[in-house]
């Protein structure tokens, strides 16, 4: 009878213990891996001190959850970046494990000797939260090799228009840089573009010519060019209270676009407005421009980082220009070769083909540098009639040339 009672107590305690675990992480809530969640199996250990298994179990689960988060971060960040930033990650990410765990369940428990309890868990890690925090820590910028930005904004403040060729930064440009630099963004000096680019190219870029913007960015070493227009005007319908105080109400409107320098693609757009009142209309217009520029810069940064995050985590589109293509049949063979031979290539879209030159969009998991390396290596190993010679590599684009192979090369 006593033996049966003992067994009953053990079973009851076991049910209570497992019940607490399931209450924390219902098995039915664990879903398949998605864009914002990742399923991870991780182990953790806890020390058994004074026979206290409950405390050891809590410690082992906490250790396993931290390991699950570390494993997930490891899939997002290159190993060298991970090592260099370990202390930052430890202080800002790993120490806040609970915020990244959507759910978990215990798979197994194992006592190692008399002093260690090892627990294996299956956890669902909220990768969306991790991505946001890694971006905030500048990890996204690091993985993109700190792309350089340049700002060119055509600004009119009340009735004052800063000449296009003016070297000094205007109010909008200054505020954008002051807002983004503390967030880790790096900038190319505006004076560089004024030395190298012609006035008509600047005007074309400001008017929306993406190709002109790309040429300016390429010539100055900027990976992203922020262009747009900003204007402040005195408001017509001014409240009586402002008129009586002798103040002028000013309204500023800013339109900005972020354009990649190597392929001319727009990666972010924003329009913001802001108002300010001042006894001096110029000062009021300046304050309104500063407010609008600050709001625009924050929104633009969020969109740019989101695009870079997609490039890193979901795969980027690399634009490849191919020169010296003998025929359209050879282009078809090239597209099939890229899909079947180059790892990480998911799709190849043809944008144009003329005069032996083709423009292809290659979507996949490789950035332009790694894609160029794969193409160069596999092309050398290929026994086909042509090999590909890499001519130019930028952050988002490649230029390659098809070279006829001789019998000796094969």
Per-residue burial over 365-404, b = 16 or more CB atoms within 10 Å of its CB, e = otherwise: ebbbeebbebbbebbeeeeeebbbeeeebbbbbbbbbbee
In the numeric block, which tokens belong to residue 66? 């931290």
| pLDDT grade for 194, boundaries at 50, 70 and 90 | low
- State the chain's maximal CA–CA distance in angstroms: 99
Q: What mean pLDDT is predicted for residues 60-71?
A: 91
Three-state secondary-structure class, residue 307:
helix
Structure confidence by residue, pLDDT tens digits, 244-276: 666 778 899 999 999 888 777 889 999 999 988
Would the pLDDT of 119 be above 70? yes
Burial of 299 (0-12, 13-18, 19+ CB in 10 A): middle
67-71, 75-79, 160-164, 311-315: segment of lowest average pLDDT: 160-164
Three-state secondary-structure class, residue 44:
strand
In the numeric block, which tokens belong to residue 325? 């293509």
Averaged pLDDT score across all residues of the chain: 78
In this prediction the pTM is 0.58
- Residue 247 CA to its chain's centroid (Å): 44
Domains of the chain: residue spans and CATH: 2-140 (3.30.1660.40), 146-312 (3.30.160.150), 316-404 (3.30.1360)
Structure confidence by residue, pLDDT tens digits, 331-374: 999 999 998 888 888 889 998 899 899 999 898 878 888 888 88
The confidence score (pLDDT) of residue 163 equals 57
Cα three-residue angle 80-83-84, rounded to 5 degrees: 85
In the numeric block, which tokens belong to residue 75? 């899939």
Three-state secondary-structure class, residue 355:
coil
Contact 310, 396 (CB under 8 A): no
CA distance 326 to 355: 9
Would the pLDDT of 330 be above 50? yes
Rg (CA), the chain: 29
Q: What mean pLDDT is predicted for residues 67-77?
A: 84
The total of other beta-carbon atoms located within 10 Å of residue 142's CB is: 17
Sort residue 315 into left (φ over 0), alpha (ψ -120 to 50) or beta: left
Q: Alpha helix locations (H) across 151-220?
A: 171-180, 190-196, 199-206, 210-220
Three-state secondary-structure class, residue 197:
coil
């Amino acid at each position: 009878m006593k033996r049966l009672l003992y067994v009953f107590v053990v079973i009851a305690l076991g049910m209570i213990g497992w019940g607490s675990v399931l209450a924390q992480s219902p098995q039915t809530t664990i879903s398949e891996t998605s864009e914002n969640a990742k399923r991870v199996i991780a182990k953790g250990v806890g020390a058994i001190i004074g026979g206290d298994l409950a405390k050891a179990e809590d410690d082992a689960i906490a250790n396993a959850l931290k390991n699950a988060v570390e494993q997930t971060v490891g899939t997002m960040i290159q190993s060298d970046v991970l090592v260099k930033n370990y202390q930052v990650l430890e202080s800002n990410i790993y120490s806040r494990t609970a915020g990244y765990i959507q759910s978990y369940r215990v798979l197994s428990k194992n006592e190692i000797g008399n002093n260690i309890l090892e627990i294996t868990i299956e956890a669902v890690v909220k990768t969306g939260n991790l991505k946001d925090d890694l971006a905030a820590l500048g990890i996204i910028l690091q993985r993109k090799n700190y792309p350089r930005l340049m700002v060119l904004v055509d600004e009119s403040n009340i009735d004052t228009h800063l000449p296009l060729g003016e070297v000094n930064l205007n109010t909008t440009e200054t505020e954008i840089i002051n807002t983004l630099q503390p967030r880790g963004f790096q900038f190319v000096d505006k004076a560089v573009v004024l030395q190298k680019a012609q006035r008509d190219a600047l005007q074309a870029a400001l008017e929306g010519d993406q190709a002109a913007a790309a040429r300016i960015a390429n010539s100055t070493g900027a990976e992203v060019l922020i262009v747009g227009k900003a204007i402040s005007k005195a408001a017509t319908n001014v409240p009586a209270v402002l008129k009586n105080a002798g103040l002028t109400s000013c309204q500023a409107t800013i339109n900005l676009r972020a354009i990649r320098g190597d392929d001319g693609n727009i990666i972010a757009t924003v329009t913001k407005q802001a108002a300010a009142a001042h006894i001096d209309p110029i000062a009021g217009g300046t304050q309104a421009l500063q407010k609008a520029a600050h709001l625009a810069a924050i929104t633009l940064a969020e969109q740019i980082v989101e695009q870079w995050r997609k490039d890193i985590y979901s795969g980027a589109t690399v634009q490849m220009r191919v020169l010296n293509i003998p025929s359209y049949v050879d282009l078809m063979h090239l597209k099939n070769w890229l899909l079947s031979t180059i790892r990480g290539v998911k799709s190849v879209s043809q944008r144009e083909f003329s005069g032996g030159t083709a423009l292809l969009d290659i979507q996949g998991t490789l950035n332009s540098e790694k894609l160029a390396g794969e193409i160069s290596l596999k092309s050398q190993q290929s026994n086909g009639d042509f090999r590909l010679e890499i001519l130019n590599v930028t952050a988002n684009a490649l230029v390659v040339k098809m070279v006829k192979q001789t019998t000796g090369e094969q």
